[in-house]
Amino acid sequence: MSVLSPSRDPGWPSADEHDPLRLLALKGAIVFLILRFGYVHEYIAFLTGSSFYVLFLVSTLVAGAAILSGGLRRLLNERHGKWWCAFALWLGVTVPFSYWKYNSAKFFLAYIQVPLIVLLITGGLALTLKECYRLMYAVAFAAVVSVGSALMLGWQAEGRLGMRIGSMGNTNDIPAHLIYVLPFLVFFALRTKVKVFKLLGVVILLCGAMAYLRTGSRGGLVCLIVVAFYVFLVTPMWTRLLMLGAVPLALIVVLALLPKEIKERYATLPGVDASPSQAQDAVDSTITRRYLLETSFKYTLEHPIFGVGVGGFEVVEGGTATALGRHGLWQGTHNAYTQVSSETGIPGLFIYLGAIISTFHLLRSIKVRCGQQPQYREAAAAASCMMVSMVGFCVAITFLNLAYVFYLPGMTGFAMSLDRAVRYESAAAKYAEVT
């Protein structure tokens, strides 16, 4: 590919493409993404009894190389990454107004150390489409690790699949993780020319789908239905017809393979008949979640500017209930959006939603632009897979306390890199034509 002539855009100096430090950082980024999105460092700690600080060392080295090779400059040259930087800044602003300042300060520092580092690495290093695809492949490999670990290290409680270890060990969190990483595996399976890899990709996707459903997460099932409906709406007619034939067949197979306890749990969704014990469990869960949701709305209205403090909802809820002579739940909001609004105020929610909308709009723009140019069809497919991932995760966190994790900033970084690579290679091609 021809190298661009010097541009007025400081984010595109031609020397960056061949910068040895940036190329070295990209290799480290692949390792980092496998560790981070596959939670490999946690499995290493579990199996060896020592963490060896693998993730910390890799992230520090890669982030440092990214900054020195212009990654931070490239990141801040575009508005999409600035949303998450603004969100991090707002988290810091709310700390002095928190009900538990020490805990909120820890959350603030953790946000800088993890989500912003992921944003920097995914959004500040890649310049070409080939580099973007390699970073996406790293997440695809992390999906393979996630499915494998669920099958080998998973445990069953009342028939539900969970993890003995890890940040995503909760049976309700696993579907959110899988719905995020599996579309990256779909992209790999679509793009690879090696038939064996395609077949393996399909097999792992089926295993991932089964692991997803074996968690028994009703929120995860709702998320899966929404994603299927979204895919049905945005895909070509032939794909819709294929889905109409394949989905009923898949349901028959899944119902035959799922344990009785899981099927009974899914039967507690509204409008479906369930056994008395399962129905009562669903009612109790619904009452709890409704109370937490209403309380999060209440705290949002009572503390509209700064909230009760990052990570402070469950402490304030439990402490307030105890002071009033009631039994506090001491739980999070079970909704990432009201988690943000109640803990960081309405300004925090505005920035959070702004980052999500900005990223989705960017991905949609890439899909539309690249879909009209045959040479960029793979980029359009990459954007489509990321949109599915993002829709799924944004629906999943409606039922989870995952507001401050690295997934959404990471998606913004991937979108920025893909957009930059398309613009970069398009400009390079035009320059080559006139020289």
What digits encode the pLDDT tens for the residues 200-209?
A: 999 999 999 9
Q: Which residue has the higher pLDDT, 380 or 7?
A: 380
More confident of the two residues 275 and 200 = 200
384-424 pLDDT tens trace: 999 999 999 999 999 999 999 999 999 999 999 999 999 98
**Count of beta carbons in the 10 Å neighbourhood of residue 54:** 17
CA distance 219 to 175: 9
- The residue among 433 and 245 whose pLDDT is bigger is 245
| Token pair of 95 as six digits | 């700390």
Q: What's the rounded mean pLDDT across residues 371-382?
A: 93
Sign of CA pseudo-dihedral 83, 85, 88, 93: negative
The residue among 264 and 362 whose pLDDT is bigger is 362
Is pTM beyond 0.85? Reply is yes
Q: Assign 148 a pLDDT band (cuts: 50, 70, 90).
A: very high
Question: In this model, does residue 298 exceed pLDDT 60?
Answer: yes
Band (357; pLDDT cuts 50, 70, 90): very high
The confidence score (pLDDT) of residue 66 equals 96
For helices 173-191 and 129-153, the axis angle rounded to 10 degrees is 130
Mean pLDDT of the region 352-372: 96
User: Contact, 293 vs 334, CB < 8 A?
Assistant: yes
> Among 28, 15, 120, which residue's Cα sits nearest to residue 67?
120
Q: What is the pLDDT of residues 151-182, one digit of tens each?
A: 887 877 767 888 877 777 788 899 999 999 99
